[in-house]
Structure 1
Amino acid sequence: MADSSINLSAPTRTNLLALQNTTDLIGRTQKRLSTGLKVNSAIDDAIAFFQARSLTDRAGDLSVLKGSIDQSISSVETASDGIQAISDIVEQMKGIALSSKSDANVQNRSKAAIQFNDLRSQLDNLANDASYKGTNLIKGSPANLKVTFSEDGSSTLTISGVSSDSSGLALTAAANNWNVDGNIDTAINKLDSALSTLRSTASTMGSNASVLSLRLDFTKNLINSLEEGSAKLVNADLNSESANLLTLQTRQQLGTIGLSIAQQSEQSILRLF
């Protein structure tokens, strides 16, 4: 039986292997250019691949927390806006009380007392309506808001709700239609105390909102750093890869020419026999 194997000379074999190697390198470079990645899988570089995945996974976890922090800021801002609106109502109530005290007319005082009580009811409605996604930090039975900053839950901030309705502020209805100055004086004292409490609550809410905003910015920057670090490990330098592709394609052309010359030399030698 005849031997069907093909014997290649050393020069031809060398040129052929070099050409195959260049073709493989071109394929790898083209893949990098198409995907934008120099590390597409653990096969390319196991260490870089898994380090990049770890950074990306952490960035993903922090992105979830970032959304929660952002929503918490909205909850606190809603409470702060509610406190400001309640303060405005209390100021109106105080104005009515002061105006009524300077008016000795019983009927006028009775009408003022009705206006006072109406505003007190609106205050309660406003406190109950100051809710964001089911969280109300200032109603009669306020909720507490716990915000988590770290993936493992070790870093948190708990914002305590403050009852800021008429009951929480100890604002009672106008007594005896304000027929006597003593009833009005009592109301004015309670209103002054309520305003002081509201200012303190507004300051606390503002401080909490500031902390949350700082943590939100920090988390955003941390996510960006993690994503950039991951990209440095696996992303390809497209300019460098483009230049490399041009070099490899030139090498491939030269290899093809070299292989052709080697084959022609062998054929010339064979013709001598």
Structure 2
Amino acid sequence: MADNITLSSSTRSNLLSLTRTTDLIGRTQDRLSTGKAVNSAIDDALSFFKARNLNSRASDLATIKNGISEGIQVLTTATDALENIEDVLKQMKAIAASAKATASADSTTRAKLSSQFNELRSQIDHLTNDASYGGVNLIKSGADTLTVKFSESPSASDRKLVISGIASNASSAVGTAGGLGVASAVNAGSWAAADASTYTAVIDNSINQIDSALTTIRDTAQTFGTNASMLQIREDFTSTLINTLEGGASDLVNADLNKESANMLSLQTRQQLGTISLSIAQQSEQAVLRLF
């Protein structure tokens, strides 16, 4: 069995003080390297778990914020397409007005204008079909529905915005799936009618359909624009809330680096003094050895 080494009380006291100082230096180094005063539940269980809960909610809200942002993009895609459809309708109206002014023209001229009108009309359907973002299309025939959640809580099922799509294709069936109700300029029996008075009446009907479609497009764009503005408000609020939660969590666990730097300097000085003190304590024991 190994013999026990006997140390004087002053030496033991100095060693204990040095050990404590070394532990404090290690803790302070951790705080300076991580920037946190509370790195685990051992440091401060209450602050640690409060901060973790705040950060968890902030993370959940970040997901909600992304969903809101995606919803804004869906609406922006739809409104951009509607603006282009409005431009197409204006061009169609200009062609119709030009066709009306050529009531006495031959069938070849009428057919040419009719073809131009129909080509533009087909572009409306192309625009509505292409106005998709993330697989959601709010203006195609059989338009989709957009649902945007505002809360991370599963029980908060009412905290959301449901936006019903409004079909804006050029369907001549007014009201069916929200179609714009703009009929094609069929060459036989309509725009190419031999009788000038009948031809004029047909053109007037096309112009009236376009005017109605323009009103519908503008109303739809306004509706989507209002929804996009509301989503932007919710996105800004969610961003602010996330920052508040993360700031609160930081206040609970973050270290004051200025204070910790001062502590480190003080502890290093204390460690040096402790080493000197231990050396002095041992000198008295060494003096005893000189007696022999």
1:146 is paired with a residue whose SS is: strand
1:265 CA displacement: 2.6
1:194-244, Cα deviation, whole Å (9 max, x unpaired): 111111011111111111112112222221222222122112222221111
21-30 vs 224-233, greater mean Cα deviation: 224-233
2:169 is paired with a residue whose SS is: coil
Match of 2:190 among 177, 200, 206: 177
82-91 vs 238-247, greater mean Cα deviation: 238-247
User: Counterpart in 1 of 2:161?
Assistant: 157
For 2:160, give the aligned amino acid: T
Q: Does 1:147 pair with 2:148?
A: yes
Matches within 5 A, 1:1-273: 4-104=3-103, 105-107=105-107, 108-153=109-154, 154=156, 155-167=159-171, 168-175=179-186, 176-178=189-191, 179=193, 180-268=199-287
The gaps in structure 1 that reach 5 residues or longer are: none
- CA distance in 2: counterparts of 1:259 and 1:123, whole angstroms: 90
Task: Count how many residue pairs are aligned between Structure 1 and Structure 2.
Answer: 272
- CA distance in 2: counterparts of 1:71 and 1:30, whole angstroms: 43
Confirm or deny: 8 A CA contact 1:56 1:226 kept in the other structure: yes
- CA distance in 1: counterparts of 2:126 and 2:33, whole angstroms: 60
- CA distance in 2: counterparts of 1:198 and 1:165, whole angstroms: 10
- CA distance in 1: counterparts of 2:11 and 2:119, whole angstroms: 102
1:158 is paired with a residue whose SS is: strand
1:79-124, Cα deviation, whole Å (9 max, x unpaired): 0011001111111111111121122214233322221111111111
The percent identity for this pair of structures is 57
Confirm or deny: 8 A CA contact 1:39 1:49 kept in the other structure: yes
Structure 1 runs of 4+ off > 4 angstroms?
A: 269-273
1:60 CA displacement: 1.1
1:58 CA displacement: 0.9
- TM-score, length-scaled by structure 2: 0.88
- CA distance in 1: counterparts of 2:17 and 2:233, whole angstroms: 58
Q: CA RMSD in A?
A: 1.8
- TM-score, length-scaled by structure 1: 0.93
